[in-house]
Structure formats: C-alpha cells, structure tokens
Amino acid sequence: MPQQSSFLNQVEVYLPELLNLLKESVNIDSPSASKIQNDRMADWYSKLFTGLIGGKVHRIEHPELGDKLVCEFGTGPKHILIVGHYDTVWPLGEASRRPFYIKDQKAYGPGVYDMKAGILQAFFALKVLKDTGRFPEEKKVVILLNSDEELGSPTSRELIETMASQSDLALVLEPPMEPQGALKTVRKGSGRYKLIVKGISAHAGVNPEKGVSAIHELAFQIQKLYALADTAKGTTLNVGIVKGGIGSNVIAEYAEAEIDVRVASAEEAQRVDTQIKAIRPCLNKSELKITGGMIRPPMEKTKESAALFKLAQEIARDEFDFGLEEAATGGVSDGNFTAGMGIPTLDGLGASGDHAHSPLEYVRIDQIQFRTALLARLIENC
Ligand SMILES: [Zn+2]
C-alpha cells in the first residue's frame, strides 16, 4: 500500500535524528517541581517546534512551575488537540546518574517512555505530513505541552480545558497499554480526600470516661468509607495513610486519614463525593472535618471516542498490518480533562515500551516508526 510505505519509509529516514533528539531531551532533567529545569525544557521544545515549517509556538509563563507551550500548525476549521507533558518524576541529577543509552533496540533514560519519546513521535508525525506535502489544509493541529502532569497538572488544567473546549478531538501522547500496545479509551477518574478527627484527650487509666478517642472514631469512619466502594461500577476507595495518637496510655485527641478514590463514571464521582462530604461522627462529642475532592473526571467512552478508536484500528490493520486493541485503566492522565470537557479523546498514542516511573523504563525503538506513522495517518484522516 503506497501511503503506508511512504510514511513508514520517511519515518525510517528520520529515525537517527529522532534518536539524537531523544538523547538530548532525556539528558535534560525536568522534575515537575523545578521551574528552572522545566523552563530549560520549554526552551528546547520551543526551538524544536518553531523549526518546523509553519509552526507557531506560544509560551504560557508560570511564576512557580515550568512554562507551558502551545504549538500551532495550520489554520483549518477542524481543530485537533495533541496533549503531552515534558516533566518527569525524576529528581535533579538523575540524567547525569543514568544518562540516555540504547541497548538491544531499547532506549533507556529518565522520562524516555513517560513521555519524551511520545512528544518526539508527535513532532515527526507532523514533520512527515509537512515534508510529503500532505498536511491537511482543513485542519489546525495544536500540540499542548505541559510541565506539571506528574503533579496532577495543577497549573495546566485550566489551559488544557480551555484548549480542549476549542477542539474537535484530543489525542494524548501517554504510553499505550502493554504488552499489546493498546490505546486507552477509558480511564477512571480520581479523587483525594483527607479526614481529620478531633476527640478529647484523657488518661487511659485514671479517667477514660472523660475522653473521646479520635482513633476509635476514625476506625468507624474507615469502615464507612470502604462501604462506599462499588466494584461492579468500578468505584474503589483506599485509605492509604492513617496517623494519630501520642501514646498507648493517652486517649487520642487527634487522628487523620488520607483517602484515594477511583471512579469510572461522572455519576459515581458525584455519588461518592456527596457521601464522603456527608459523613457524620459515630461517637458522642467527636468532630470530623473532611477536605479535598474529586481531582480528575473519568474519561468515559462515548460514541465519538469509540469512532475515533475504530478509525485508528482500521488504519493500523489496513495499512500497517497491526491488530490495535483498546484498554481501560485506573491510571489518570490529562486525557481525563479533555474527555471531561466532552471532547472525544484517544489516549495511549505515545511510545511503546515499559516500566513508567521506574529506573527500568525503556522505549521500544522497533515500534517508533509504526507509532509515528499511525499518528500521522490519524491526523490526516480523523
Ligand atoms: Zn505521562
């Protein structure tokens, strides 16, 4: 098939350049919390995308965390938003401790898989469209690169939602689901809460009747929290941290718990949020305070997002002889925000590999051509 081979062949020509750029970008540390490092990274990507013919790069500055980039290509009426992030979970100095290297057709280094290779695949997908004169005139492609995804996108969320609201669809460059390299069409939403319990302290031996144990109260509340789970609907809760008390002979005045919530639907997000916020004390004279809330809305499958996946699947099958699958995950990404805005979203379009957030993290070089060409064909056809 001529289209297939022309894109694959062209990306093969780019591959040495792509790997060089990957090495350069992986060897620049970009821990989410470091403004200095993420601004360096923004400089690097800004130069890269400005160099692509017709590219306009807007830099959205932030006083505390790294600046964000919005890279625009084309002026057509159909808007495609591509979302990536250049922050990583790795601390400063990680890149000099274990710099980029290639072994057995795998590329290693901090953030190589999550997601510096994915961003470069998107860059070369656009480049192949430009270089072959096939950038679709009726489209405008916007690549949004954020700097705080690994923190939950606290300073990027608004920008992502604004850009999504101006787009017809969103493609997200997070890694696919391995081992089959499936695209992600469903993600759970997540919430985080903190429960603070105040009791009354007293001597456990002398006058226990005067005390109200915050720990005793918390034990009741933990049971009630877990009872909010509904596994059939995909709703789970985890009390991941508990603290409280100062000694076994003291009735605890204070206790607290941190809670993680995962939901598969907006309806469940609403139900759990309402019920958590409505909890009442079980013990007389103890007091509860709950803070936090739902952080990311679930990425639910819609008719439109299903059609988008089907298109990717058909391209993969007909042109690349690859059986592309879809998968659901409990992990969250910026795709939760675009989908939460009601925009058809396809996630997992980044680099194939494994071991995100682990020193074993790698990218499969033999998959780069296919993933890049698939993204280019998707931009052309969606
Ligand atoms: Zn990521």
Query: How many C-beta neighbours within 10 Å does residue 64 have?
Result: 9
The mean pLDDT of the chain is: 96
CATH class of the domain defined by 2-187+299-381? alpha beta
Span from the CA of 222 to the centroid of ligand 1 (angstroms): 31
Q: How confident is the model at residue 5 (pLDDT cuts 50, 70, 90)?
A: low
- At 284-316, the pLDDT tens digits run 999 999 999 999 999 999 999 999 999 999 999
Indicate the domain borders of the chain: 2-187+299-381, 189-296
CA distance 235 to 221: 18
Span from the CA of 332 to the centroid of ligand 1 (angstroms): 9
Span from the CA of 334 to the centroid of ligand 1 (angstroms): 9
For 333, half-sphere exposure in the C-beta direction (CA atoms, 13 angstrom radius) is 30
pLDDT surpasses 70 at 2? no
- At 166-214, the pLDDT tens digits run 999 999 999 999 999 999 999 999 999 999 999 999 999 999 999 999 9
Span from the CA of 150 to the centroid of ligand 1 (angstroms): 7
Report percent pLDDT > 90 for the chain.
97
- At 128-144, the pLDDT tens digits run 999 999 999 999 999 99
Span from the CA of 114 to the centroid of ligand 1 (angstroms): 5
Span from the CA of 335 to the centroid of ligand 1 (angstroms): 10
Span from the CA of 357 to the centroid of ligand 1 (angstroms): 9
Preceding peptide of 179 cis, ω within 30°: yes
Q: How confident is the model at residue 91 (pLDDT cuts 50, 70, 90)?
A: very high
| Residue 290: partners with Cβ closer than 8 Å, 6 or more residues away | 193, 194, 195, 196, 276, 277, 279
Q: What is the pTM of this model?
A: 0.89
Question: What do you get for the CA distance between the two ends of the chain, in Å?
Answer: 19
pLDDT surpasses 80 at 104? yes
CA distance 230 to 42: 42
296 three-class SS? strand
The DSSP call for residue 212 is B
- At 249-267, the pLDDT tens digits run 999 999 999 999 999 999 9
Span from the CA of 307 to the centroid of ligand 1 (angstroms): 24
pLDDT surpasses 80 at 345? yes
Span from the CA of 246 to the centroid of ligand 1 (angstroms): 40
Domain 189-296, CATH? 3.30.70.360
CA distance 235 to 4: 42
Q: In this predicted structure, which of 24-33, 48-57, 90-99, 101-110 has the lowest mean pLDDT?
A: 48-57
Q: How confident is the model at residue 4 (pLDDT cuts 50, 70, 90)?
A: low
Q: How confident is the model at residue 26 (pLDDT cuts 50, 70, 90)?
A: very high
Span from the CA of 86 to the centroid of ligand 1 (angstroms): 8
CA distance 54 to 69: 16
Span from the CA of 336 to the centroid of ligand 1 (angstroms): 12
Span from the CA of 91 to the centroid of ligand 1 (angstroms): 15
Strand blocks (E) in 111-253: 139-146, 169-172, 183-187, 189-198, 236-244
CA distance 147 to 143: 13
pLDDT at residue 281 in the model: 98
pLDDT surpasses 80 at 1? no
- Give which of 153, 84, 89, 139 is closest to 117, Cα–Cα: 84
Span from the CA of 351 to the centroid of ligand 1 (angstroms): 11
pLDDT at residue 53 in the model: 84
Mean pLDDT (whole number) for 336-342: 96
Q: Which residue has the tokens 């390299």?
A: 181
CA distance 50 to 71: 8
